[in-house]
Amino acid sequence: MRRIVKFASMFVLVLALGGAAGCKQHAAGGKALYERLGGGTALTAVVDDFLANVQADTRINHFFLDADMGKIKTGLVNLIGQATGGPENYTGRDMKTTHAGLGISEADFNALLEDLSRSLDKFRVGDKEKGELLGLLGAMKGDIVEK
């Protein structure tokens, strides 16, 4: 169970730490990434789809078998909202501490990103916004991947 929750936290915490740099990013029109992604309703829809992708992904779904997906969803919505400049608030541990000793591989990390990317594509998130959001994740890879 500890491994499952910590792996799920990988995504949540990567955005939290990456969000400090990303939450103030604005397009030329002055809108935060959160607004350009469609706000809270759109964010919740993407997270729902993303979690369904993860649960169906045989490369990584074993990490989530006993996880409280409702809790993970709430954490992700709050975290992504905060990280992209929205009103949501997330507090949590740093990624290095959370992921220490889990043996998360680059393949595991990439699978998670692919699942998110598929959801962003499904909801027709623009390339610029998709790149910014995935960039928040990629920036924290070194603190998550151990092997």
Q: What is the DSSP letter of 87?
A: S
Question: Quick check: helix, strand or coil at residue 32?
Answer: strand
Beta-carbon neighbour count of residue 19 at 10 Å?
A: 24
Question: Quick check: helix, strand or coil at residue 101?
Answer: coil
CB 61, CB 55: distance < 8 Å: yes
pLDDT of residue 14: 44
**pTM higher than 0.75:** yes
Could you give the count of Cα atoms lying within 13 Å of 40 in the half-sphere of its Cβ? 7
Q: Round the average pLDDT of the chain to a whole number and report it.
A: 81
Q: What is the pLDDT of residues 62-74, one digit of tens each?
A: 878 878 899 889 9
Mean pLDDT of all residues in 74-98? 85
Question: Quick check: helix, strand or coil at residue 115?
Answer: helix
Spell out a b/e string for 86-96, using b for 16 or more CB atoms within 10 Å of the CB, else e.
bebebebeebe
CB 34, CB 43: distance < 8 Å: yes
All domains in the chain, ordered by first residue = 2-144 (1.10.490.10)
pLDDT of residue 4: 43
